Structure 1
Amino acid sequence: MAHTPYPQSYYASSATPAPERPALQGDCETDVCIIGAGYTGLSTALFLREHGFRVTVLEAAKVGFGASGRNGGQIVNSYSRDIDVIERSTTAKSAALLGQMAFEGGQIIRERIARYQIQCDLKNGGVFAAFTSQQMRHLEAQKNLWERYGHNQLELLDRPSIRQVVATDNYIGGLLDRSGGHIHPLNLALGEAMALEALGGVIHEQSPVLRIERGANPVAHTEHGQVRAKFLVVAGNAYLGNLLPDLAGKSMPCGSQVIATEPLGEELARSLLPQDYCIEDCNYLLDYYRLSADRRLIYGGGVVYGARDPANIEAIIRPKMLKTFPQLKNVKIDYAWTGNFLLTLSRLPQVGRLGDNIYYSQGCSGHGVTYTHLAGKVLAEALRGQAERFDAFAGLRHYPFPGGRLLRVPFTALGAWYYQLRDRLGI
């Protein structure tokens, strides 16, 4: 039987020890079978198990193998496209619901950490950093927008103020979100998996689903077994492949690259990020970074459309890091890895149902740490018969990429080049 290990990332090397979870062998029945043990699947499973559902999770590799265990570890509110875009693209009622939910994912994460005593290095505070006056105007508008939906933990930063947050002269200001923050993302996923199992939920690793048999009681088939359920929840995101062609045509896997330095020591680490906030800039192809618990700088950025693994990740990301922090020119890079996220054309998540009993959520578009936890709650509500919030997401319009699957990579890359040029020109 094939065994897929974690990629060689900082997160995998520093992860909480976890039990071996056996692959599915034979046939079983459950109330809900969930495909994917990332944040979406684990969040859904936990909410369902807390309400008494029998839950079985099938994971192709290991818990948190995909984006959930490889991301920048930043708790960022709202969606990849903000609430103002949603307001222009759906009904007033749905926009109000989606706006109210935009800040719920971070609350769910903190509740899970507290309730299940998950050790994942939670730190509070996140900053959006602006290079240009136009980006600052955008942040001012974002602050007003979020406050209109009751989110009041925000503070605009001028140039001297942001210089107290991050030791670079690159930014002219920013927006501090005190309800933002950062975590060890793989340890969060592992902690949620252990919480699920403590409640009686079942997780099978190394159990890729090869085929879904639709019907009144859908069946997920793996190499050595099958799970018959009342409902299926598809939560594979960028690692789902072509298991359900209905979902693959309106999304595209993309890769993001991350590096982690050697431990910097307390003095140097504190000089870079004195408040220990996480940072993301306001460019279309943005950079993001933070300190780990052992004072490494974790720095990510860049997008590879179509999710190819670059040959030399450090060569891509290290120059970005040094542009922000030239004082790190002699610092060694200990880890470099890539992870895939799922992009939609609208950059809004796709939520829906196939037939009467196959539910899905996908396409966080690089903004998934908080959204996936919300998605789990919304999917669980729908399976319990409370579908109002699910319907608000399901009502968002989505379109296939221009040119179909063959041309979606070059067309998307061309669009990204246009926005990157705008960022460089400051327009």
Structure 2
Amino acid sequence: MANTPYPQSYYAASANAVPPRPVLQGEVETDVCVIGAGYTGLSSALFLLENGFRVTVVEAAKVGFGASGRNGGQIVNSYSRDIDVIERSVGPQQAQLLGEMAFEGGRIIRERVAKYQIQCDLKDGGVFAALNSKHMGHLESQKRLWERYGHTQLELLDERRIRDVVACDNYVGGLLDMSGGHIHPLNLALGEAAAVESLGGTIYEQSAAVRIERGANPVVHTAEGKVRAKFIIVAGNAYLGNLVPELAAKSMPCGTQVITTAPLGDALAKTLLPQDYCLEDCNYLLDYYRLTSDKRLIFGGGVVYGARDPANIEAIIRPKMLKAFPQLKDVKIDYAWTGNFLLTLSRLPQVGRLGDNIYYSQGCSGHGVTYTHLAGKVLAEALRGQAERFDAFADLPHYPFPGGQLLRTPFAAMGAWYYGLRDKLGF
């Protein structure tokens, strides 16, 4: 049987040691079968176990193999489209619920880290950096919007103040969110998996779901076994494939690229990001970066539509890094990797139910670290019969990409080209 290892990333190389997990063989019974051991699946499993459900997780590769173990590691609040967009497209009650939930995911992460003593290098503080006056105006509006929903840990940074947090001359200002921050994302997933197992949950690795047998008592089939359950949670996101055709039609896997430098040393690292905050800029095709616990710079950006792996990741991302930090021109790149996230046409997550007992959440659209942790709580609430918050997400309108699966990649790439041009021209 195929054994899928982690990609050769900095995160895999620095992951906490964990015991091997078994392959599913034979038949098991459970209350809830979760497909996917990324953040959505692990968060769902934890909340369900804490509420007395029996939970079995099946994972095609290893815990955190997908976006959960490959992302930039930044705790960023709200959704890929902000609350003002939601307010314009849904009714006031639904908008209020979604707005209130926009800042919950980060709190859940911190609660999990504290409760289960997860070692994942958690640091507080995230910065949105403005490259021009238009970006700065957007950040001023964003601060007012978020404060309207009770989120007050925000500080606008003028051109002088942003120099205090990042050694880059490209920014005219920014917005500091102290409830943002950063983590070692794979170690967070591994810690959450250990928490699942500490509560009696079971995780099977190298056990891809190949078929779902729907009905009153659904069954998840893998190559060597099956799980009979009362409920199923589909949490495969960009790595789900065509297991559930209804979900594949309204989403598209996209790749993003990340590089990690050799260790910079304490002195150089502190000059780059003196407060050890993470940062992302305000472009549509944004760059993001942060320091690791061993004083490397992780720098990510770029989007490959259709999730193809670029031939030379360093050639794509290193110039972006040097544009921000030309002082790193002689620094070696130790790791370069790509990972997939799932894009929806609206850039809002898709949440729903198929029949009476198959629940799903997908399509974080590049904004998943916090949202996925919230999603697990919302899905667990729905299985317990508390569906108000689940329904607020499930009622969001979603549409298939124009032209179906054949044309969704070129259409999305065309749109990205347009917004990339706007980024360059500053309008």
| TM-score normalised to structure 2 length | 1.00
**Mapped partners of 2:88, 2:24: distance in 1:** 45
> What is aligned with 2:194?
194
| Residue identity in the other structure for 1:362 | Q
Aligned to 1:255: 255
Query: What aligned pairs does 1:179-328 form with structure 2 within 5 A after superposition?
Result: 179-328=179-328
The residue aligned with 1:164 is 164
Q: Which residue of 1 aligns with 2:336?
A: 336
Q: Deviations over 1:203-232 (max 9, x none)?
A: 000000010000000000001100000000
For the residues of structure 2 that align with 1:195 and 1:251, how far apart are their CA atoms? 31
CA shift for structure 1 position 411: 0.4
The 4+ residue runs of structure 1 with deviation greater than 2 A are none
Q: Distance in 1 between matches of 2:88 and 2:205?
A: 42
Structure 1 position 33 matched with structure 2 position 33:
yes
Alignment of 1:369-388 (within 5 A): 369-388=369-388
Is 1:142 the counterpart of 2:142 in the alignment? Answer: yes
- In the TM superposition, what is the alpha-carbon distance from 1:5 to its structure 2 partner? 0.3
SS in 1 for 2:208: coil
Q: Where does residue 121 of structure 1 map in the other structure?
A: 121
CA positional deviation for 1:89: 1.1
Show structure 1 runs of 5+ residues with no match: none
Kindly state the Cα deviation for residue 67 of structure 1 after the two structures are TM-superposed.
Answer: 0.1
Identity %: 81
* 2:270 alignment partner, SS class: helix
Provide the aligned C-alpha RMSD in A: 0.3
Q: Distance in 2 between matches of 1:273 and 1:125?
A: 11
How far off its partner does 1:257 sit?
0.2
Q: Which residue of 1 aligns with 2:131?
A: 131
Q: Following the alignment from structure 2 to structure 1, what is the Cα–Cα distance between the partners of residues 178 and 51?
A: 31
Q: What residue identity is the alignment partner of 1:162?
A: I
Paired residue secondary structure (1:164): helix
Q: Which residue number corresponds to residue 90 of structure 1?
A: 90
CA distance in 2, matches of 1:310, 1:423: 22
Shift of residue 170 of structure 1? 0.3
2:69 alignment partner in structure 1: 69
2:63 & 2:111 partners in 1: Cα distance? 20
Give SS of 2:401's match: coil
The residue that corresponds to 1:80 in the other structure is 80
Equivalent position amino acid for 2:55 in 1: V
Does 2:118 correspond to 1:99? no
Q: Which amino acid aligns with 1:370?
A: T
CA deviation digits over 1:14-62, x for unaligned, max 9? 0000111011000011000000000000000000000110000000000
Q: 1: CA distance between counterparts of 2:57 and 2:365?
A: 23
Gap runs ≥5 in structure 2: none
Secondary structure of the residue aligned to 1:186 is helix
Partner of 1:23: 23
Quote how far apart the aligned CAs of 1:90 are: 1.1
Paired with 1:14 and 1:426, the residues of 2 have a C-alpha distance of 38
Deviation digits for residues 216-255 of structure 1, max 9, x if unmatched? 0000000110000000000000000000000000000000
**Take 2:156 and 2:381, find their aligned partners in 1: how far apart are those partners?**
36
- 2:51 is matched with 51
Q: Which position in structure 2 is the counterpart of 1:401?
A: 401
SS of 1:351's equivalent in the other structure is strand
- State the Cα distance separating 1:150 from its structure 2 match: 0.2
How far apart, CA to CA, are the structure 2 residues paired with 1:90 and 1:202?
39
1:295-350 deviations in Å (ceiling 9; x for gaps)? 00000000000000001000000000000000000000000000000000000000
Matches of 1:132 and 1:264, distance apart in 2 = 29
What's the offset of the Cα at 1:91? Answer: 1.4
